[in-house]
């Protein structure tokens, strides 16, 4: 599965919070975030200037909310909740998927959380290296992970219940996918 794979969150389709959040997984997992983007859901964050240095106003996702590489699951959930709340405010019930041509989708498009640039294989030429590093890091913390269809995945969803799972996922994600140039 990729970051564009549908994911049901509060009954509304959105991308699978991928590689735990961004990739094909053996278990549905949640992704966390990276650079730039403005947030209006009330979560304070500091954008990494180096992460947005190459962006221009012509960028297809300019102004779009973007999950940060170091976001924990609560941060990611707040972003998705803001998007589904916006859809709801524009007439889409929380237990329904918005039709493709829905005015609500257009009205809420800037609140639709994009995955971190670092975890987008189309935008990160070192993505495959990051996937392998992520698997090594998670396994080092006792969270059995594998490379699956070019993305990282957990061997079992039970690992999400391990103590410090989210902490290790965020640490490994930042360490494995950060863009040090």
Low-confidence winner among 29-43, 78-92, 160-174 (lowest mean pLDDT)? 29-43
From CA 130, how far away is CA 34, in angstroms rounded?
14
Share of the chain above pLDDT 90, in %: 50
* pLDDT classification of 111: cutoffs 50, 70, 90: very high
70: DSSP letter: T
Token readout for 71 is 């976001």
User: What's phi and psi for 154, nearest 5 deg?
Assistant: -90, 145
Give the model's pLDDT for residue 61.
Answer: 67
From CA 166, how far away is CA 161, in angstroms rounded?
9
Residue 32 has pLDDT above 70, yes or no: no
In sequence order, the 6+-apart residues with CB closer than 8 A to the CB of 49 are none
Predicted TM-score (pTM) above 0.85:
no
Residue 118 has pLDDT above 50, yes or no: yes
From CA 11, how far away is CA 98, in angstroms rounded?
10
Give the model's pLDDT for residue 13.
Answer: 32
Share of the chain above pLDDT 70, in %: 65
Cα dist. 164→50, 86, 98, 103 in Å? 29, 32, 35, 41
Give the model's pLDDT for residue 180.
Answer: 56
Give the mean model confidence (pLDDT) for residues 133-156.
93
């Amino acid at each position: 599965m990729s970051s564009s794979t549908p994911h049901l969150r509060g009954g509304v389709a959105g991308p699978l919070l991928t590689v735990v959040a961004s990739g094909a997984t053996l278990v549905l997992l949640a992704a966390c975030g990276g650079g730039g983007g403005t947030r209006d859901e009330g979560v304070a964050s500091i954008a990494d200037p180096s992460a947005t240095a190459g962006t221009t106003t012509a960028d297809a996702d300019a102004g779009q909310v973007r999950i940060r590489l170091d976001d924990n699951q609560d941060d990611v959930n707040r972003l998705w909740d803001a998007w589904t709340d916006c859809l709801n405010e524009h007439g889409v019930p929380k237990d329904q998927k918005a039709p493709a041509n829905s005015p609500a989708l257009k009205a809420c498009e800037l609140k639709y959380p994009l995955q971190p640039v670092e975890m987008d294989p189309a935008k990160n030429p070192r993505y495959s290296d990051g996937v392998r590093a992520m698997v090594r890091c998670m396994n080092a913390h006792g969270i059995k992970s594998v490379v699956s269809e070019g993305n990282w995945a957990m061997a079992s969803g039970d690992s999400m219940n391990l103590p410090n799972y989210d902490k290790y996922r965020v640490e490994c994600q930042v360490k494995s996918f950060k863009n040090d140039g």
